[in-house]
Amino acid sequence: MSAEDARFMARAIDLALARMGETWPNPAVGCVLVKDGQVIAEAATAPGGRPHAEEQAVPAAGEAARGATAYVTLEPCGARSSGRASCAHFLAEAGVARVVVAALDPSPFAAGRGAERLRQAGVEVETGLMGEQAAVLSEGFLHRHETGRPMVRISEDGQGFDARFAASPRADLVTELKRLGEAGYTRLWTGPGELADALAEQGLLTS
C-alpha cells in the first residue's frame, strides 16, 4: 500500500479519535471515501454509536462512491444486531471498488464476515494498514466483548473515555465493572489513588 493510502487512513483515524468517548456501546470508527486522489466523503461513528461511519459516508458521496476506495479504521460489519443492512452491504451496494481496513473486528457481527462479504461482492479488500495506530479506537470495545467488563485506565482528565469509574476500593470491583459492561460502557477512567491501586491488585487496571 502506498503513502497516499497511509495519508487517507491517518485521516480516518483522526476522525475516529475525535469521537472517542462519545460512541459507546460501539467503537469509534472513521471512514474516508476517496476517488481519483480526492476525498469525496468522510464520517465517524455518530454519538451514541449510530449511525456507523460507513452508513453516513456512503450516502454523502452519492453516485461518486462508485469506483471509489474506502479507508475504514475497523472492519465493516458483516451483519447487524438490529437486522438492518450491514456496513459491508452499504459499501458493496454503492459500488465501492476497494476497501482498506486498519484492523479486523473479532466481534460476532464482523469476525471476518464483513471482509468476506465485500470480497464475495467483487470488492478488493486490504487489511492491516496502520493497525497499531488504530488499535486504541476499539480496544475498550474488544475488552468488553472478551471479558464482559469495560477496560479501566488511569487518567488525569478522562478525555476520550466513556465515563469515570467511581466505586469504593473495598467494593466487589469485578461485579461493579460487569454491571457497567452490561450497560454498554467500554472505556472508563479513574484518577491515581486507592481505587486505582485496588484495581491494579486485582488485575483490573489496563496498562
Active site residues: 54
User: Which positions ≥6 away from 119 have C-beta within 8 Å?
Assistant: 125
Determine the length of the chain: 207
Residue pair 149/178 in contact (Cβ under 8 Å)? The answer is yes
Residue pair 26/71 in contact (Cβ under 8 Å)? The answer is no
Q: Report in angstroms the alpha-carbon separations of 120 from 111, 188, 194.
A: 15, 38, 53
Hey, how many other C-beta atoms are within 10 angstroms of the C-beta on 80? 15
Q: Distance (Å, rounded) from C-alpha 102 to C-alpha 91?
A: 16
